[in-house]
C-alpha cells in the first residue's frame, strides 16, 4: 500500500489550484511558486506569533533573516538526490537553484551582523563601535559568530570549487560537514538570540523541526541509502573502447531483477568496494533492458576517473544510485517535432531518447544535430545511419571542427560548430513555437544554444537539457 506524503498532498492541491487558473504556468514556474510557498511558510507563522517591532527597519530585517534561514534549510534537500519526492525530482533544476541561492545566502549572511548594528551608525561612531564589539565578544552571540565564519568559508569553497586542488570527494565531504555544522550553530543562534526565539518559544519548534528533518535527510543519504544500495549490487558485463576517447560500459543487476528507468535519465556509479565511498560518478543512460536489469553508458575520457576506465574488469561489482533526471520523450509528446542537439559526450542520453522514439515508431519529424571535434570521436555512426532508413522522418546533421578526408555515406557532415544557422536548419520553418528541443553537452555549448533557440522562437518550456555539473 502506497502512503501519500504531506508534500505530495500539497503538490496535488497546488496542481489543482494551477488547473483552475486562467494562466497556465509552466513546470518551471510551478517549481518556483512552490519554492516561494515553502520559503514564506516560517515567516507566516512568525507573523502570527504577534511579536511587535518598534520600527520598520527591524521588521524588514527580521523578515529577511527568517526567509534566509528557511532558504538555508532548503539547500540540502535541493542537492540531496531525493527522487521519490516530486518537487525535488528535477535534479538539474535543483542543482542550478542550489548554486544560485547559495551565493545569495553567502552575501546576505556576510552582511547580517553589519545590518544589525547599522542603525547605531546614525547615532555616533562610538555607539557603532561599542555595539560591534559587544556583539562579537558576547557569549550569547558566540554561536552566531562561529556560524558566520564557517558560512563564509563554506560559500567561498563552493564558489571556487573548480580552482581548489582537492579531489571532488574530499570537497563534497567538507561541504556536507560544513552544512551540518552551520545548520547546528544557526539553529542554536536563531532560537536563542533571534527576535522571535527570545519572545515566542513556540516558534522555536519550527526551527528545530526543520533542523531535525534536515539532519534526518543527511543520515538517510549517507548511512541508510548506501545500505539499501549495497543490497542491490550490479556487475560489469562489458567495458570496451568505441572511439578515440569514448568507452561503452554495460552493467547488469546481479540478481537479474528489473531496473526501472526512462530514456534520458542518469545514475551515479560507484566502482569502489563499498557503497559508502563518496567516489560516485554521474553517467547518462544510453540504453538498456528493463526486464534483465541491464544498463549501458557511453563515457568520454575527461578526468582522472574516466581516464582509468580500462582498469575496470567484467564481473566487477558496481553500485548504482538512481535513476535520476526528468528529461524524457514524454516532455515533447504534444510538439510538432523534436530536435536533439548533442555535443561530444552529450550524445549518450540523446541516444537513449532517440532509441526510445524509434521503439515507439515515431512519425513526427525528428532531427539530430551531433557535434564533435572530428569524426573519429563520434560514436554509434552505423546505428544513426540505420535509423535514417528505419525511422519514418528522421535525419542527422553531423558537425565537426575538422572535416574528415572521406565522407560518411548516408550522413551529412559540415565543418564548424553548432550555431544558430545549424539549429534553424534542424527545425521546420514556422513551427519553432511548437517544437521540442533536447540538449546535452558542455556547459558553454548549452548556454549558447539555449540563447539561440529562444532567439529563433522556441519556447523556454520546450527546451530540455541536462548538464550533469555537480
CATH number at 268 reads 2.40.30.10
141 found inside a domain: yes
- Per-residue pLDDT averaged across 296-312, rounded? 86
> Which pLDDT belongs to residue 4?
43
pLDDT of 2: 41
459 part of a folded domain: yes
Whether residues 405 and 289 fall in one domain:
no
Q: Do 251 and 129 sit in the same domain of this protein?
A: no
With 60 as the cut, is the pLDDT of residue 431 above it?
Answer: yes
Q: Note whether residue 272 is domain-resident.
A: yes
- Exposure of 85 by Cβ count < 10 A (0-12 exposed, 13-18 middle, 19+ buried)? middle
Is the per-residue pLDDT at 327 higher than 50? yes
Q: Are residues 29 and 84 in the same domain?
A: yes
**What span, in angstroms and rounded, lies between the C-alpha atoms of 264 and 437?**
13
Residues 185 and 262 in one domain: no
144 or 269, greater pLDDT: 269
What pLDDT score was predicted for residue 197?
A: 47
Sheet holding 287-289, edge to edge: 281-284, 266-270, 317-324, 234-241, 246-253, 294-300, 287-289
CB 158 within 8 A of CB 105: no
Average the pLDDT over each of 4-8, 296-300, 463-467 and give the range with the smallest value: 4-8
pLDDT at 336 over 90: yes
Residue 406, domain CATH = 3.40.50.80
Q: What band does 467 get if pLDDT is binned at 50, 70 and 90?
A: low
| Secondary structure element (H or E) that encloses residue 405, with its range | none
- pLDDT level of residue 275 (50, 70, 90 thresholds): very high
Judge if 254 and 181 occupy the same domain. Answer: no
- The whole domain housing 319 covers 234-324
Question: Does a structural domain hold residue 1?
Answer: no
Least confident of 10-24, 59-73, 153-167, 256-270: 10-24
Across the range 230-247, mean pLDDT stands at 92
pLDDT of residue 115: 83
Residue with cell 544498463: 295
Q: Which residue has the higher pLDDT, 245 or 24?
A: 245
Sort 176 into a burial class: Cβ within 10 Å, 0-12 / 13-18 / 19+: middle
State which of 167, 193, 228 marks the end of a domain: 228
Same domain, 31 and 163: yes
* Reported confidence tier of residue 200, pLDDT bands at 50, 70, 90: low
pLDDT value, residue 13 = 52
217 and 245 inside one domain: no
SS3 388: helix
The model carries a pTM of: 0.79
Residue 50's pLDDT band, with cuts at 50, 70 and 90, is low
Please report whether residue 300 resides in a domain.
Answer: yes
Alpha carbon distances (Å) from 261 to 265, 280, 292, 327, 453: 7, 19, 12, 11, 28
**Region of residue 256 (phi > 0: left; psi between -120 and 50: alpha; otherwise: beta):** left
Pair 25, 31: CB distance under 8 Å: no
Rounded distance, CA 299 to CA 235, Å?
17
Residue 461 is assigned to a structural domain of this protein:
yes
Q: Which helix (H) or strand (E) holds 396?
A: strand 394-400
Domain assignment present for residue 338? The answer is yes
**Residue 267 domain-assigned?**
yes
One domain, residues 373 and 319? no
Structural domain ending residue among the three candidates 324, 343, 360: 324
- Find all residues with CB under 8 Å of 171, minimum gap 6, and list them: 157, 161, 164
The mean per-residue pLDDT over the stretch 361-389 comes to 92
Residues 295 and 204 in one domain: no
Give the up-direction half-sphere exposure of residue 45: CA atoms within 13 A in the CB hemisphere.
18
Helices (runs of H) and strands (runs of E) counted in the chain: 14, 13
Residues 75 and 29 in one domain: yes
Provide the mean pLDDT of the chain.
85
Tell whether 400 and 449 lie within a shared domain. yes
- Domain-ending residue, one of 177, 207, 228: 228
> Looking at residues 188-192, what average pLDDT do you find?
85
Domains of the chain: total? 3
* pLDDT at 271 exceeding the cut of 50: yes
Kindly tell me if the per-residue pLDDT of 66 is higher than 60. Answer: yes
Q: Which of 138-152, 293-307, 341-355 has the largest mean confidence? A: 341-355
Are 14 and 30 part of one and the same domain? yes
Amino acid at each position: 500500500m502506497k502512503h501519500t506524503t504531506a508534500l505530495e498532498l500539497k503538490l496535488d492541491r497546488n496542481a489543482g489550484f494551477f488547473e483552475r487558473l486562467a494562466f497556465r504556468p509552466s513546470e518551471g514556474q510551478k517549481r518556483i511558486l512552490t519554492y516561494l510557498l515553502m520559503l514564506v511558510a516560517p515567516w507566516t507563522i512568525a507573523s502570527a506569533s504577534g511579536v511587535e517591532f518598534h520600527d520598520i527597519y527591524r521588521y524588514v530585517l527580521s523578515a529577511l533573516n527568517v526567509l534566509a534561514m528557511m532558504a538555508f534549510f532548503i539547500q540540502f534537500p535541493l542537492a540531496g538526490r531525493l527522487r521519490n519526492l516530486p518537487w525535488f525530482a528535477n535534479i538539474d533544476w535543483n542543482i542550478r537553484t542550489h548554486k544560485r541561492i547559495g551565493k545569495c545566502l553567502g552575501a546576505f549572511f556576510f552582511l547580517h551582523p553589519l545590518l544589525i548594528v547599522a542603525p547605531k551608525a546614525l547615532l555616533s561612531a562610538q555607539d557603532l563601535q561599542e555595539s560591534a564589539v559587544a556583539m562579537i565578544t558576547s557569549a550569547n552571540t558566540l554561536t552566531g559568530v562561529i556560524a558566520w565564519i564557517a558560512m563564509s568559508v563554506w560559500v567561498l569553497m563552493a564558489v571556487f570549487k573548480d580552482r581548489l586542488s582537492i579531489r571532488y570527494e574530499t570537497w563534497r565531504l567538507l561541504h556536507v560537514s560544513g552544512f551540518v555544522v552551520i545548520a547546528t550553530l544557526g539553529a542554536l543562534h536563531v532560537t536563542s538570540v533571534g527576535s522571535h526565539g527570545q519572545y515566542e518559544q513556540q516558534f522555536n519548534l519550527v526551527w528545530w523541526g526543520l533542523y531535525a528533518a534536515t539532519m534526518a535527510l543527511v543520515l538517510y543519504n549517507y548511512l541508510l541509502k548506501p545500505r539499501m544500495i549495497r543490497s542491490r549490487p550490479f556487475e560489469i558485463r562489458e567495458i570496451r573502447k568505441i572511439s578515440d576517447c569514448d568507452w561503452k560500459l554495460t552493467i547488469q543487476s546481479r540478481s537479474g531483477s528489473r531496473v526501472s528507468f526512462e530514456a534520458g535519465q542518469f545514475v551515479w556509479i560507484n566502482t569502489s568496494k563499498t557503497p559508502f565511498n563518496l567516489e560516485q560518478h554521474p553517467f547518462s543512460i544510453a540504453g538498456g533492458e528493463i526486464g534483465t536489469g541491464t544498463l549501458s553508458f557511453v563515457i568520454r575520457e575527461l578526468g582522472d576517473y574516466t581516464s582509468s576506465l580500462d582498469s575496470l574488469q567484467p564481473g566487477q561489482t558496481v553500485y548504482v544510485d538512481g535513476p535520476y533526471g526528468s528529461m524524457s520523450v514524454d516532455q515533447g509528446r504534444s510538439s510538432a517535432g523534436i530536435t536533439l542537439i548533442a555535443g561530444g559526450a552529450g550524445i549518450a542520453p540523446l541516444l537513449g531518447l532517440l532509441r526510445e522514439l524509434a521503439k515507439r515508431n515515431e512519425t513526427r519529424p525528428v532531427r539530430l544535430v551531433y557535434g564533435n571535434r572530428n569524426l573519429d570521436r563520434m560514436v554509434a555512426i552505423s546505428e544513426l545511419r540505420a535509423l535514417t532508413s528505419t525511422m519514418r522522418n528522421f535525419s542527422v546533421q553531423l558537425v565537426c571542427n575538422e572535416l574528415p578526408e572521406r565522407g560518411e555515406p548516408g550522413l551529412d557532415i559540415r565543418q564548424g560548430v553548432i550555431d544558430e544557422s545549424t539549429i534553424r536548419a534542424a527545425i521546420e520553418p514556422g513551427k519553432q513555437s511548437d517544437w521540442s528541443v533536447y540538449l546535452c553537452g558542455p556547459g558553454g555549448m548549452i548556454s549558447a544554444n539555449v540563447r539561440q533557440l529562444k532567439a529563433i522562437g522556441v519556447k523556454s518550456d520546450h527546451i530540455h537539457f541536462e548538464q550533469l555539473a555537480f
